[in-house]
A and B are shown apart, each in its own frame.
Chain A
């Protein structure tokens, strides 16, 4: 690894030692209130958004940052990128998982600062895999499977708005997701194929976790937060046909991992 490269990317990833050394100084800077904004968890939130919110919440809990959760019906409209969740720190708004992780790292809150380079590279690859496979699968199930769409997703997505908005807005969102799925070649897949993709992804995760407590050794990492977010909702979501619930139970170590994280960080 060339040293030029490392220097250039000092702010990109939390593998850099130089950042770790500044931790104690930086930590005092994070004195402002941290507020996590998300849609209403019980009535409103849709499956894919729920996974993202849980991942960010788990990450914040793992780092030990003190924060509070605000539930808003219009969280998506408040977010700078149009996606939930987002955090407010002082006057700054940061949306989505990776930017939040990088922002926290720049303030000295980094979960993987003393892990080897290669392990960190692998970790981010797995985070991408979850984004690429599980997020798409969740979008597919929530917005492309007619039963789920009619019974769960649309009523939930529109619950905060009066008629006729509760009909128009979910329809617009549905169209948007369908475009996204088409361009990613997911729209042409059948539910069976999607389940197959999820199984491949879960098997890979199960192999990676093996019998360890966390994915990267004895301490939690960003990957643990993301995996928890996704697996938890795959396990607990009550959807018509429940396509994924059985899938997770095939991988014991992932189920146990999920319970462990829940009992350690969410009480």
Chain B
């Protein structure tokens, strides 16, 4: 058995999930299912990771970066959740893992990294907040390029337009969700009562899709219609990751408090707005008056009120004329 404890580095979590990355989530879930004693390090700094990405499992001086490698290493160390499965079910695990990678992964890559709206609103802000400064400038861009290459090379081609690729990728992903839903049926997990590595993978792929605050997205909407898949994800979250759920609730409360603070802030800002409107009004009036004066609409004549030689009637007439003209310019 392991003399030293394994260390697992993953992307940190958000939105009530222990991690935001599908692969990290899959490994975390697998570790929980099989009860591996592992130190989980939630981080946003991939400086020390050999591939510049997570998950990374370190044990006895070796590090494993790919999900399949991590699973097979854990299995070799006699930690696994698949020992109960029959050989046929193990074959199914391989087949469905391939299905996920072939059909669902391209759509998720497209959604997170290539869909402009999600990338700008969700993905890029999240990663640039999570990753420390100098890395945050180029790592998201690099990941985006990688995702683009992967989707275009595997699903597109020089004969197919970008729009067609997008349509194809999402259509395949929706079919994949349907197939998963058929496979799951009414069972608690894919193969009955006990979770397997396939459940871990499915959970990893679907949880961010279900929980992240994505701008109205077709894949998210389709997933919501698959009741049994949503139930699976929520079950796993409640059973195996209750801490993260609690954290999210606390965060939500905090946010709400901040929001209510913001409302009062709005009120305190109100007099400012009044003042600004007032100033703007004065400014506009002054400008108009200056313009009217400079173009000759208003004439101002300064004269003494009591010059001795001039008759009173003439000056009175002039002054009333100014008043009339100014009124005309303003209206």
List the interface of chain A (C-beta within 8 A of B): 1-2, 4-5, 8-9, 12-13, 15, 79-83, 117-118, 120-122, 124-126, 128-129, 131-133, 179-180, 183-185, 200-201, 203-205, 207-208, 210
Shortest Cβ distance from A130 into B: residue: B98
Shortest Cβ distance from B181 into A: residue: A1
How many A-B contacts are there with CB distance less than 8 Å? 103
B102 is an interface residue with CB less than 8 A from chain A? yes
Query: Are B226 and A125 touching (Cβ within 8 A)?
Result: no
Query: Are A80 and B95 touching (Cβ within 8 A)?
Result: no
From DSSP, what is the main secondary structure of chain B's interface residues? Answer: helix
Interface centre among A81, A121, A132, A210 (most CB of B within 10 A): A121
Q: Chain B 122-155 against A: per-residue CB contact (8 Å), 1 yes, 0 no?
A: 0000000000000000000000001001100110
Query: Are B182 and A125 touching (Cβ within 8 A)?
Result: no
Query: Are B153 and A5 touching (Cβ within 8 A)?
Result: no
CA distance in complex: A6, B96 (Å): 21
Q: Within B269-284, which residues are at the interface with A (CB < 8 Å)?
A: none
Kindly list chain B residues whose C-beta atoms are within 8 Å of the C-beta of A131: 98, 102
Kindly list chain A residues whose C-beta atoms are within 8 Å of the C-beta of B180: 121
B contact residues, range: 35 or more
Kindly list chain A residues whose C-beta atoms are within 8 Å of the C-beta of B185: 1, 118
Shortest Cβ distance from A204 into B: residue: B91
From DSSP, what is the main secondary structure of chain A's interface residues? Answer: helix
Say which residue of A12, A13, A82, A132 sits within 8 Å of B159 (CB atoms).
A82
Query: Are B95 and A126 touching (Cβ within 8 A)?
Result: yes
Query: Are B225 and A208 touching (Cβ within 8 A)?
Result: no
Query: Are B174 and A9 touching (Cβ within 8 A)?
Result: yes
Contact A204 to B95, CB < 8 A, known contacts A81-B160, A121-B179, A122-B183: yes
Contact A121 to B182, CB < 8 A, known contacts A132-B102, A184-B154: yes
Query: Are A125 and B98 touching (Cβ within 8 A)?
Result: yes
Q: Smallest CB–CB gap between A10 and chain B, Å?
A: 11
Query: Are B226 and A82 touching (Cβ within 8 A)?
Result: no
Query: Are B225 and A4 touching (Cβ within 8 A)?
Result: yes
Query: Are A179 and B153 touching (Cβ within 8 A)?
Result: yes
CA distance in complex: A236, B92 (Å): 27
Complex A-B: 6 CB contacts under 8 Å:
A12-B175, A124-B99, A125-B92, A132-B102, A204-B91, A204-B94
